[in-house]
């Protein structure tokens, strides 16, 4: 056992054990740099809102970057025993990755003491900013990591303390194929541009999926049903998921759920109920959407709202559970006839 008097003592304690600021006056100024990293775990709904830049408070990633830079410059005011350092450079990056937001900060100065705390403070405040910006959508966010990755300068020179975490893309629907059906009289007649269908196709790509087919039909039950069945029974290009957008409201022409329900071999109301519950804190009107969900053979069919934002928000809210549903259906035996052909041909 090392005698107590020979054990290393924290530099911020004097010989009597009292806290103090370390005297660095006899040290030479060197080029010092530090890099830190943090991670905030968020739910898929918030991830989708960040990806679409749809938060009411503004662009979460940009605000987190600015907050981290500002915090680094004020570290000595926040951490009692830190020296004031004239920072030559601070850089903060906020990146949406699988499961959350990864934050990286680097700080550099010519000084007598290191800039580790400046980098760590930047990451910590950026992480808190993520929580502040996103708490209206995700009230269970967790700051999982704040750590120093590397430092250079001073007596110890360059030290690599940890490897940077990989940054996989936020793609919960990787490998999932989909067909997108826009249901709208006006879009079908060319009186209004279809915004929801293309928005869903783009967003599927951002989530890792692929839109392999898209179409637009009027608010007519037979046209809606036929389009869905044609995709579900396709021998060459059957999608894993068919997403409809539009016709889920309360007007007399909103009949997409009524056209969809008789086609389903197995209904799955829990999918859209999950979306509504997750969207409730930020979008109570999600409960006005009357969509249906279920399976036709090995294809999952989901009715989404008609607005681009509503359709993408609903998809985001269930994106984390869809891969398991798709995989389950893929293992089902294929059937040529789903029992609905005579009704719609």
> Known catalytic residues?
132
Largest CA distance in the chain: 92
- Of 181, 176, 198, 337, the residue nearest 259 (C-alpha): 181
Comparing CA positions, the residue from 7, 27, 26 lying closest to residue 17 is 7
Q: Cα separation of 64 and 36, whole Å?
A: 15
Burial of 54 per CB tally in 10 Å (0-12, 13-18, 19+): middle
- Residues 294 and 305 sit within 8 Å (Cβ to Cβ): no
Q: Which two tokens stand for residue 150?
A: 């590397």
Query: In whole angstroms, how far apart are CA 275 and each of 7, 114, 209, 313?
Result: 57, 48, 19, 8
Q: Which residues sit opposite 94 in a β-bridge? A: 103
Structural tokens at position 295: 């399976």
The rounded distance, in Å, linking the Cα atoms of 285 and 270 is: 18
């Amino acid at each position: 056992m090392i005698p107590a008097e020979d054990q290393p003592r924290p530099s911020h304690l004097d010989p009597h054990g009292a806290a103090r600021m370390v005297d660095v006056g006899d040290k030479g100024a060197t080029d010092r740099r530090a890099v830190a990293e943090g991670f905030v775990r968020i739910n898929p709904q918030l991830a989708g809102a960040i990806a679409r830049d749809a938060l009411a408070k503004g662009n979460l990633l940009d605000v987190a970057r600015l907050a981290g830079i500002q915090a680094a410059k004020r570290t000595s005011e926040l951490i009692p025993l830190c020296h004031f350092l004239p920072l030559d450079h601070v850089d903060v990056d906020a990146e949406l990755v699988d499961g959350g937001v990864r934050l990286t900060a680097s700080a550099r100065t010519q000084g007598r003491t290191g800039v580790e705390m400046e980098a760590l403070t930047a990451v910590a405040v950026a992480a808190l900013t993520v929580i502040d910006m996103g708490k209206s959508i995700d009230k269970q966010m967790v700051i999982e990591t704040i750590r120093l990755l590397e430092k250079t300068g001073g007596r110890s020179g360059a030290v690599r303390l940890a490897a940077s975490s990989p940054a996989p893309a936020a793609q919960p629907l990787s490998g999932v194929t989909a067909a997108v059906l826009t249901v709208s009289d006006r879009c079908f007649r060319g009186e209004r541009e279809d915004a929801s269908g293309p928005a869903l196709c783009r967003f599927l790509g951002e989530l890792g999926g692929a839109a392999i087919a898209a179409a637009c039909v009027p608010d007519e039950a037979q046209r809606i049903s036929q389009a869905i069945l044609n995709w579900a029974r396709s021998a060459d290009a059957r999608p894993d998921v068919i997403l409809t957008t539009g016709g889920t409201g309360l007007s007399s022409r909103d009949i997409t759920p009524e056209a969809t329900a008789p086609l389903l071999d197995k209904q799955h109301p829990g999918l859209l109920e999950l979306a509504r519950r997750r969207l409730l804190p930020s979008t109570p009107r999600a409960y006005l959407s009357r969509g249906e969900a279920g399976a036709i053979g090995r294809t999952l069919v989901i009715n989404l709202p008609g607005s681009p934002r509503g359709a993408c928000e609903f998809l985001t809210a269930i994106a984390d559970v869809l891969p398991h549903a798709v995989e389950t259906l893929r293992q089902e035996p294929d059937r040529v006839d789903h029992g609905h052909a005579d009704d719609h041909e």
